């Protein structure tokens, strides 16, 4: 153990103690019975930890190449955290996908492991939930009084989630069955549900009327989001223009792919035909869950030993349906492997009929060779210091960029044998993520829509235009998912562009490595060495990949 290893270990432990909900997402064990204090005192303690750790990092000697990278990764994260604290971003923060309400919800979902559920921890978290919500209410009221509250859209989305979640908690408690904790779990779930109902009423009745209507957060806040989620700095006007160019390029490829499926038919007709085709539909949430599980298992079996060497603990992904609307996402295994890598996939109810022709590309993104391989290998990589190994959740540019790259890579490796699945990759992966670059920057900066795009040319972006634009470009998803996406972008400035901008860095680095190596370039070896680097911001990733 070097002095730097000791510092990063202590920081991970202290961060987990001060933010148990984040610890759950990061897979840090030992905090399963606790919830994060979202009140002012909790926020102040986390800000103090950031400042103290930065000061100690300045005094800590760095040894060797591994130490150099570890120190850079930790410093990058701490400086972003300090900037967010100093900007007052955390106070009053609500979000559609990763705000306090969502993290409290996921703290319970991650304990829900069927026969392996830690019921003592569930009971403790149920009892802690009313207090966590009370602390969050104090922070939200303070921020609102100071004019720093989240937009009404985010407040109402969080309220809806609070209103939906008590049913899940009651159902979770009921699955315990008979035993010494039964009455305590039922009563704690009832009290937690009542607290969620009261908090939802506070959000809709007190906070929402005072919340700003305007969703756009402006260029300064957007640049801070780019630092937080991508670990880089961008020329936003140049990136916005690149997003339009990339979108046009991908749509040209889509037209070619559609012509292979139904020659002579326009793209909308081809997509409608695929939506209606029984071969690309599955009825029932459980049947769909089984289908994506089989898809994930088959990808692992076929790629292992050929294109990647997949460690034994990563040869299984658990596919699950979340209890409330939360999109599609992946969570890496816990550091002690007590929790498997898990794909969560929202459907519209137990009897929903799911269109599947865009699904394989998403499973490759979330599973193997995407997040499950990337983040799982990071979890197992004992050459990395502990914080670095567990910090994947903090680096969307690195993680989501690889996920989108993985979608494209599977096309290069011949895995879209069905032309519909190749079109699904272009529609559900490439076009959708390019559209996010345009929308995210455009809506937050309220930029004009360029001439020649064929869409409300000259008008400035609004959320309503965003819904219309995305509805025509997201694929076969229901309107509720389109609305969810727009709310998501407006709550997390910069996160939505992490996919396309991250993929761009991965592709450019691979091309540069191929040019350096020439005829002896080995793609499997490039991937192995690249994944061994672990999560980091895009500027640091670009520099380190240039060394491989």
Burial class (CB in 10 A: 0-12, 13-18, 19+), 362: buried
Question: Distances from the Cα of 453 to the Cαs of 269, 423, 436, 458, 461, in angstroms?
Answer: 21, 22, 15, 10, 13
- Residues 177, 198: Cα–Cα separation, whole Å: 28
Alpha helices in 60-112 (DSSP H): 64-86, 100-109
- 123 assigned to some structural domain: yes
Radius of gyration of the chain (CA): 23
* 547 inside domain: no
Query: Does residue 514 lie within any of the structural domains?
Result: no
- Cβ-proximal residues to 544 (8 Å cutoff; 6+ apart), any chain: 69, 533, 536
> What are the CA-CA distances from residue 523 to residues 154, 296, 308, 388, 402 (Å)?
43, 22, 10, 25, 15
Q: Are residues 94 and 132 in the same domain?
A: yes
Can you name the residues that pair with 318 across neighbouring β-strands? 342
Q: Are 121 and 181 in contact (CB under 8 A)?
A: no
Q: Quick one: 193 and 229 in the same domain?
A: no
* Domain boundary pick from 477, 499, 521: 499
**Which of 163, 179, 213 is the C-terminal boundary of a domain?**
213
Q: Are 190 and 244 members of one domain?
A: no
Count of domains observed in the chain? 2
CA distance 292 to 303: 17
Each residue's pLDDT tens digit in the chain (548 positions)? Answer: 899 999 999 999 999 999 999 999 998 989 999 999 999 999 999 999 999 999 999 999 999 999 999 999 999 999 999 999 999 988 889 999 999 999 999 999 999 988 889 999 999 999 999 999 999 999 999 999 999 999 999 999 999 999 999 999 999 999 998 999 999 999 999 999 999 999 999 999 999 999 999 999 999 999 999 999 999 999 999 999 999 999 999 999 999 999 999 999 999 999 999 999 999 999 999 999 999 999 999 999 999 999 999 999 999 999 999 877 667 889 888 888 888 899 999 998 899 999 999 999 999 999 999 999 999 999 999 999 999 999 998 999 999 999 999 999 999 999 999 999 999 999 988 999 999 999 999 999 999 999 999 999 999 999 999 999 998 876 666 677 889 999 999 999 999 999 999 999 999 999 999 999 999 999 999 999 999 999 999 999 999 999 87
User: Does 53 share its domain with 139?
Assistant: yes
Q: Judge whether 104 lies within some domain.
A: yes
240 and 185 within one domain = no
Check whether residue 77 and residue 178 sit in a common domain. Answer: yes
Please report whether residue 476 resides in a domain. Answer: yes
Q: What's the rounded Cα separation, in Å, for the pair 104 and 98? A: 10
User: What is this structure's pTM?
Assistant: 0.93
- Round to whole Å and give the CA distance between 313 and 340: 8
Shared domain for 170 and 270, answered yes or no, is no
Q: Based on the domain organization, do 254 and 327 belong to the same domain? A: yes
Neighbouring residues of 66: CB distance < 8 A, sequence distance ≥ 6: 383, 384, 385
Of 469, 484, 499, which marks where a domain is finished?
Answer: 499
Domain, as residue range, for 141:
3-213
Same domain, 327 and 178: no
Q: Are residues 174 and 301 in the same domain?
A: no
In this structure, is residue 530 part of a structural domain? no
Q: How far is CA 79 from CA 51, 57, 100, 385, in A?
A: 9, 11, 22, 19
Would 402 be classed as within a structural domain? yes
Do 240 and 115 share a structural domain?
no
Per-residue pLDDT, 475? 61
Structure tokens at 519: 């005829």
- How far is Cα of residue 100 from the mean position of the Cα atoms in its chain? 15
Cα separation, 448 vs 457, whole angstroms:
8
SS3 415: coil
Question: Is residue 170 located within the same domain as residue 252?
Answer: no
- Both tokens of 280, joined, read 């690309």
Answer for the pair 2, 385: CB distance below 8 angstroms, yes or no: no
């Amino acid at each position: 153990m070097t002095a730097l290893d000791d510092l990063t270990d202590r920081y991970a432990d202290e961060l987990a103690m001060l933010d148990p909900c984040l610890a759950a997402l990061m897979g840090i064990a030992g905090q399963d019975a606790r919830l994060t204090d979202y009140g002012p005192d909790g926020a102040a303690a986390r800000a103090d930890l950031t400042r103290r750790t930065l000061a100690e990092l300045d005094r800590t000697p760095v040894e060797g190449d591994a130490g150099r990278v570890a120190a850079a990764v930790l410093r990058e994260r701490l400086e972003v955290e300090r900037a967010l604290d100093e900007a007052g971003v955390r106070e009053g923060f609500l979000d559609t996908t990763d705000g306090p309400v969502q993290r409290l919800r996921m703290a319970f979902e991650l304990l829900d492991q069927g026969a392996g559920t830690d019921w003592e921890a569930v009971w403790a978290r149920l009892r802690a939930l009313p207090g966590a919500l009370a602390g969050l209410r104090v922070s939200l009221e303070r921020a609102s009084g100071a004019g720093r509250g989240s937009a009404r859209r985010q407040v109402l989305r969080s309220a809806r989630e609070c209103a939906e979640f008590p049913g899940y908690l009651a159902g979770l408690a009921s699955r315990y069955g008979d035993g010494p904790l039964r009455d305590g779990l039922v009563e704690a779930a009832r009290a937690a549900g009542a607290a969620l109902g009261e908090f939802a009423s506070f959000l809709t009745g007190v906070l929402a009327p005072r919340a700003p209507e305007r969703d756009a957060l402006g260029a300064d806040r957007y640049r801070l989001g780019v630092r937080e989620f991508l670990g880089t700095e961008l020329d936003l006007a140049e990136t916005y223009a690149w997003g339009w160019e990339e979108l046009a390029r991908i749509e040209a490829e889509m037209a070619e792919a559609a012509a292979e499926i139904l020659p002579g038919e326009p793209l909308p007709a081809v997509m409608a035909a695929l939506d209606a085709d029984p071969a690309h539909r599955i009825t029932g949430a459980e049947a769909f869950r089984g289908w994506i599980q089989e898809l994930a298992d088959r990808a692992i079996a076929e790629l292992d030993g050929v294109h990647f060497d997949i460690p034994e603990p990563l040869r299984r992904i658990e596919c699950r349906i979340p209890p409330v609307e939360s999109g599609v996402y992946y969570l890496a295994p816990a550091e002690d492997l007590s929790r498997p890598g898990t794909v969560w996939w929202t459907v519209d109810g137990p009897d929903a009929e799911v269109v599947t022709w865009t699904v394989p590309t998403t499973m490759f993104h979330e599973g193997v060779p995407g997040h499950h391989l990337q983040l799982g290998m990071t979890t197992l990589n004992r050459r990395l210091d502990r914080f670095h190994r567990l910090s994947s959740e903090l680096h969307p540019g690195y993680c989501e960029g690889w996920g989108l790259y993985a979608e494209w890579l599977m096309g290069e490796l011949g895995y879209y044998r069905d032309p519909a699945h190749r079109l699904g990759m272009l529609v559900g992966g490439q076009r959708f993520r390019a559209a996010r670059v345009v929308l995210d920057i455009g809506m937050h900066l309220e930029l004009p829509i360029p001439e020649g795009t064929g869409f409300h040319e000259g008008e400035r972006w609004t959320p309503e235009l965003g819904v219309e634009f995305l509805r025509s470009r997201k694929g076969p998803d229901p309107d509720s998912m389109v609305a969810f996406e727009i709310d998501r972008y407006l709550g997390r400035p910069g996160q939505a562009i992490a996919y396309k901008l991250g993929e761009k860095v991965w592709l450019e680095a691979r091309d540069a490595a191929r040019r350096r190596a020439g005829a002896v370039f080995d793609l499997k070896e490039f991937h192995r060495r690249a994944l061994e680097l672990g999560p980091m911001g895009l500027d640091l990733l670009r520099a380190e990949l240039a060394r491989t």
